[in-house]
Amino acid sequence: MHNDTPALVAEDLTLSYGPVRALDGLDLRAEHGAVTAVLGPNGAGKTTAISCATGLLRPDGGSVRVLGEDPWRAGPGHRARVGVMIQDGGLTSGAPALTLLRYGASLHADPLDVDEVAQHLGIDEFGGTLVRRLSGGQRQRLALALAIIGRPDLVFLDEPTAGMDPSIRRRVRTLIKGLARTGTAVVLTTHLMDDVAGLADSVCVIARGRALASGSVDEVISDHQAGRGAACLQATLRDIEPGSLDALTADLQSLAAKHGARLELGAGGAADLESVLLDLMEEDA
Amino acid sequence: MNTHVIAPAPPLRRILSHAALEARILLTNGEQILVAIVMPALVLIGLRLLPVGRLEDVAPIDTAMAATLATALVSTSFTSQAIQTGFDRRNGVLRWVATTPLGRDGYLAGKILATLGVHVLQVLVLSLLGIALGWRPEVTGLLLLVPVWLTGTVAFGSLGMLVAGTLRTEAVLAVSNLLFLLFVSVGGIAFPLVSYPRILRGLVDLLPSGALGELMRAGLGGGALMVGSFLVLLVWAVGGVLAVIRWFRWTDS
């Protein structure tokens, strides 16, 4: 059971690598039972922010609390509650996949059932293969399994679906949604807008080490559009008879004209968010 | 609601689990077996058959076994650990373990335990081979070598970690293999100090390999414990650990 305190609260984080300012006053929050996506271009500070939240880096300034603790000083008890999937995998190359997953489980008092997790993510298909012989997508699945094997309260996933084929990606998305539904706070970074639109309860867009926008996907999109002097309403009409499509389109156009709005027909969601992201980057440049 | 206990496994179980993983990787890797068992065995057979590396009044099999066990120690503590840790660093394993209940301390503890475990296995296999070739060890000599063995493991283990934690992975491979060959061939392990030109003797005497080789020969050949050599090895062990604390980098970037 969780209290109302967010699983992750980072405020005004700063961190420099020599002359390079990787984090420049970053604010980031993640709630229990929700998927928070951290978006931004390469070099925006996403991985640095996650490194601070997982205790791998100590920020120069600001504060970060993860499950109420300072991750830099936290001990094994805290680390058991936080699952981490790092970007380059972090997998020992000389071990077979399933051996490594069993090892990861053995570090926890009451882990998930290794065979169930392996089966769910299809790791059993390559369980005896050495990590160094696995494909990129297979490594991603193993790293994801290792991140969740200890039933974490908070899980950090750095580009979890990169390199995965569509069917596995769908399975992974279902798994991530399932984690959030059972109360886990999920923080993920991604470049795939499909991941965000279909998964994230909230997003944080960062660039140059600062948060440019944050909130739910809809909020970020509508705030951004309102800021540009116009709001946007998106509706999806289903079960349309093919024969009445033209008439419906004409009706919609006249309705839009009546209110002085411009009508755009077609797919939305992911594409919208992507354009918001690009606009924000452009404005920040 | 999560009714499960979200807690780490007990510390000892975590460390033993990591040690088992490391030992398994070491023992299932063909190149590592080559370095850990085959090369020391070749040293044993070579020194048993060829009239080199011997000492007056000491049975040739005793000096051969001393060189063999010293080679085995350096191969696992230094070369294997440098290579494995170097790859772990490049693959981000060192970053990942730091986020798990194992942590960096547990990783190091498990690694030391795995090294000692592999050592025991090496000693057993190589001793059996030595016995087959006529070696008749004395228990007192072997017991005297336990502190030498542990100090040597720390000295060479920390040097291995230093190489793994400061150089690029490609350089780790080259440097650790090259230094291993140099330690064994001209660093005082395969050949006793008395067989070196006088001008080199002082230098080799100060190397960790020279000190280890001399101590092993003294222990197995029934000689007196050489305090000077032991101090040299101890200084390398303490210096090595301090250098690792100061310079070891957990990430590749």
The count of CB pairs under 8 A between chains A and B is 116
User: Apex CA A67: angle with CA A66 and CA A70, to 5°?
Assistant: 45
% of chain A with per-residue pLDDT over 70: 95
Q: Flag if A80 and B18 touch (Cβ within 8 Å).
A: no
Task: Give, as one character, the DSSP assignment of residue B36.
Answer: I
Q: Tokens for A175, please give them.
A: 């798994």
% of chain A with per-residue pLDDT over 90: 60
Task: Give, as one character, the DSSP assignment of residue A79.
Answer: H
A4's CB contacts (< 8 A; 6+ apart) are: none
- Looking at CA atoms only, how far is residue B182 from chain A in angstroms? 27
Q: Flag if A110 and B102 touch (Cβ within 8 Å).
A: no
Q: Using CA atoms, how far apart are residues A196 and A36, in angstroms rounded to an integer?
A: 9
Contact status of A79 with chain B (Cβ, < 8 Å) = yes
Task: Give, as one character, the DSSP assignment of residue A7.
Answer: S
B1, B14, B88: residue with CB nearest A92: B88
Sheet containing A8-17, strands listed edge to edge, beginning at the edge strand earlier in sequence? A20-30, A8-17, A61-66
The confidence score (pLDDT) of residue B193 equals 87
Q: Provide the ipTM.
A: 0.85
CA-based end-to-end distance of chain B: 40
A76, A89, A104: residue with CB nearest B8: A76
Strand, coil or helix: A239: coil
Contact status of A84 with chain B (Cβ, < 8 Å) = yes
The confidence score (pLDDT) of residue A64 equals 97
The confidence score (pLDDT) of residue A266 equals 65
Residue in chain B nearest A110 by alpha carbon: B5
Q: Using CA atoms, how far apart are residues A152 and A7, in angstroms rounded to an integer?
A: 11
B-chain CB neighbours of A110 within 8 Å are: 4-7
- Span B45-87, pLDDT tens digits: 998 888 888 887 788 899 999 999 999 999 999 999 999 999 9
Contact status of B33 with chain A (Cβ, < 8 Å) = no
Residue in chain B nearest A156 by alpha carbon: B99
Q: Flag if B92 and A87 touch (Cβ within 8 Å).
A: yes
Q: Using CA atoms, how far apart are residues A5 and B115, in angstroms rounded to an integer?
A: 44
- Looking at CA atoms only, how far is residue A16 from chain B in angstroms? 14
The confidence score (pLDDT) of residue A53 equals 96
Answer whether A50's CB lies under 8 Å from A156's CB.
yes
Q: Please report how the helices B81-90 and B11-28 are oriented relative to each other, as an axis angle in degrees rounded to 10.
A: 110
Q: Using CA atoms, how far apart are residues A103 and B19, in angstroms rounded to an integer?
A: 10
The confidence score (pLDDT) of residue B182 equals 95
Band the pLDDT of A267: cuts 50, 70, 90. Answer: very low
B21's CB contacts (< 8 A; 6+ apart) are: A92, A95, A99, A100, A103, B110, B114
Q: Flag if A183 and B1 touch (Cβ within 8 Å).
A: yes
Q: Using CA atoms, how far apart are residues B34 and B83, in angstroms rounded to an integer?
A: 14
Q: Tokens for A283, please give them.
A: 């404005």
Please spell the DSSP secondary structure of B42-81, one letter per residue.
HHHHHHHHSS-S--TTS-HHHHHHHHHHHHHHHIIIIIIH
pLDDT < 70: residue spans in chain B: 1-2, 253
The confidence score (pLDDT) of residue A271 equals 53
Q: Flag if A151 and B17 touch (Cβ within 8 Å).
A: no
Amino acid at A238: R
| Phi, psi of A66, rounded to the nearest 5 degrees | -120, 120
Contact status of A263 with chain B (Cβ, < 8 Å) = no
CB within 8 Å of chain B, chain A residues 187-216: none
